[in-house]
Structure 1
Amino acid sequence: MSDAEPNWEWYRSFLQVLETGSLSAAARAMGLTQPTVGRHIDHLEATLGLKLFTRSFDGFAPTDAAHELRPHAAALAATAASLRRVASGHGDGVRGTVRLTASEVIGVEVLPPVLAALRAAHPALTIEMVLSNQPDDLLRREADIAVRMFRPEQEALVARRVGAIEIGLHAHRRYLAAHGTPKSLDQLAHHTLIGYDRETAFIRRLQQQYPMLVRDRVAFRADSDLAQLSAIRAGFGIGACQAALAARDGELVRVLPRAFAPALETWVAMHEDLRDSARCAAVFAALVAGLQAYIEGEQRPA
């Protein structure tokens, strides 16, 4: 292993080759040439004294060493991105870039009008949105602010509870006209159900409370909340979605509201080091106000 410090660009190329599996795809993603990316990998391997990829006719296969280095390289990337965002926010007023992470449904169906109003008030503000049902790590600065459906436990975070989003069973009027409306949870066994594919801790708790929703009884399975919502809107069957969201669509009907009404605790969180950042404070406040209005049924589609 060389005593020289590897160039950050080499790590960027390393992560892209890991992600894409080839030099050419990594080069396209980074706006570089294939030989340049190849040299980055060669230099990184020589400096670290490690074989990171096995070259073959169908691409680059990562070695065990590459897999071990991946989280560290990803942490470097997150830190570099955070540094750029912090630098972008210096100046007068609310300006710069804020990286926000939220679930698919919240990010696509709820936040756009909130962020549009925020941008209108602060034209120098840029938003980076990460749509994911997996929580990004705020402590490692993978995002500046997160909307989460659970209470953040880390002490280094500033967190604000905005309320509980009620979940209900819904179906399109067309589906209910063709198949009838269930009068009890037991009658769901005679209906087409929409639900998740892979189980999570939350899904397992939900299935324990509502055993009629176990995976084997679900006819449309998707881990994407947006895919499930699209299936409900298309009249595929009965599925769970946010009651406030379904209430916007006159064609969706809630079924069994008294028998099925779980709620998702909703929080907005950011790293405490960002408390004095004007850009993050503005986004944080807008998200809290916008989500509270949504939960209370005051927000309307843009």
Structure 2
Amino acid sequence: MNWQSIRFDWNQVRAFLVTAEEGTLSAAARALGLTQPTLGRQVTALEEELGVALFERDGRSLILTPAGLELLEHVRVMGEAAQQVSLSATGQSQSIAGPVRVSAGDAMSAYVLPKIIDDLHRKAPAVRIELIASNQISDLRRREADIAIRHVRPTDPALYARLIRESDAHLYASPDYVRRGPMPKSLTDPGQARFIGMDPLARMIDFFRQNGLMVEDRNFAFLTDSSVAAWEMARQGLGICVMGEEIASVTPGMVRVLPDFLPIRVQMWLTTHRELHTSRRIRLVFDHLAEALGGKIG
């Protein structure tokens, strides 16, 4: 089919693109902030406009037809162009008002950023911070966030990154757990001590062992994919947890344990898209975060 000769409705094309990438109407509707019936109508309207079926149903999943696969190649190019236009338009904005999406880990979002965001609101009350609290790395190219706080330096040349802080992570427990135990006897003999692990467990055990703490599978009585949940379990006396100094410093009462455990050096990178960095409101938020989270190192 000669796709170039067809005039597309971008809303319908975007509905098709996100549905193809997400695999289900429900997931695509969540990604676009639409109701599932609305999204379904847009996809159906595009199929009627083209006169072809773009998807086949397989249970709850949708599978692209040959025509859908062919169209997908073309609309991905359109989608990338639309994202570039959005980035450029946002980058040229000189208004100190509007939304700025900031992505950070869940523990950073819960324990450190609220005060920083409150201070920013006093400085720029017309800027609305949309905080994405997730341990998954947001895709800045696809505008999942405008600014990301990461522990690794991005390799994408389209991104601007600044190293704003280096800190250490240690092992902590509540005073109640330290009193009741069981506590580790030493780095090489953790005994029956209980640790709170982050998923996946095998990686966590390997990580501890590389740092000299010879834990076993049996030492991990609790496992979670949430840093906030792990820290709260430690605060309530369930076991020992590894956490960064910036979190521990704002959590009164937690006790650092096993001082011989080598501190884990953690970098903090503040990252945004190079074009977004020219937006006054995004630059304002970026600079405020950089100053509040540590400023220059050295």
The TM-score by the shorter chain falls in which range? 0.7 to 0.9
| 1:1-302 superposed matches below 5 A | 1=1, 3-14=5-16, 15=18, 21=24, 26=29, 30=33, 32=35, 34=37, 36-46=38-48, 47=50, 49-54=52-57, 60-64=60-64, 76=79, 83=86, 86-87=89-90, 90-92=93-95, 94-198=96-200, 204-210=206-212, 212-213=214-215, 215=217, 217-292=219-294
Q: SS of 2:188's equivalent?
A: helix
Shift of 1:133: 1.8
Shift of 1:143: 2.1
Question: Is the Cα contact below 8 Å between 2:174 and 2:255 reproduced in 1?
Answer: yes
Question: Is the Cα contact below 8 Å between 1:45 and 1:52 reproduced in 2?
Answer: no
Q: Distance in 2 between matches of 1:245 and 1:207?
A: 23
Structure 2: tracts of 5 or more residues without a match: none
Shift of 1:169: 0.7
TM-score (norm 2): 0.78
Q: Distance in 1 between matches of 2:230 and 2:236?
A: 10
Shift of 1:172: 1.2
Q: What does the per-residue CA deviation read over 1:106-148, in whole Å, with 9 as the maximum and x for residues that have no partner?
A: 1221111111111111111122222222222333433221111
Q: SS of 1:42's equivalent?
A: helix
Q: Distance in 2 between matches of 1:24 and 1:147?
A: 26
Question: Is the Cα contact below 8 Å between 2:91 and 2:277 reproduced in 1?
Answer: no
Q: What does the per-residue CA deviation read over 1:172-203, in whole Å, with 9 as the maximum and x for residues that have no partner?
A: 11112111543522342311110122269788
Q: Distance in 2 between matches of 1:286 and 1:232?
A: 31
Q: What does the per-residue CA deviation read over 1:211-258, in whole Å, with 9 as the maximum and x for residues that have no partner?
A: 534655421111211111111112111111122322333331110123
TM-score (norm 1): 0.77
Shift of 1:88: 9.9
Count of residues in Structure 1 that have an aligned counterpart in Structure 2:
288
Q: In the alignment, residue 62 of structure 2 is paired with which amino acid? A: P
Q: RMSD across aligned C-alpha pairs, in angstroms?
A: 3.9
Report sequence identity in percent.
29
Q: Distance in 2 between matches of 1:133 and 1:155?
A: 23
Q: Distance in 2 between matches of 1:152 and 1:200?
A: 26
Q: Distance in 1 between matches of 2:266 and 2:82?
A: 31
Question: Is the Cα contact below 8 Å between 1:195 and 1:221 reproduced in 2?
Answer: yes
Structure 1: tracts of 5 or more residues without a match: 297-302
Question: Is the Cα contact below 8 Å between 1:171 and 1:253 reproduced in 2?
Answer: yes
The residue number in structure 2 matching 1:299 is: none
Q: In the alignment, residue 170 of structure 2 is paired with which amino acid? A: G
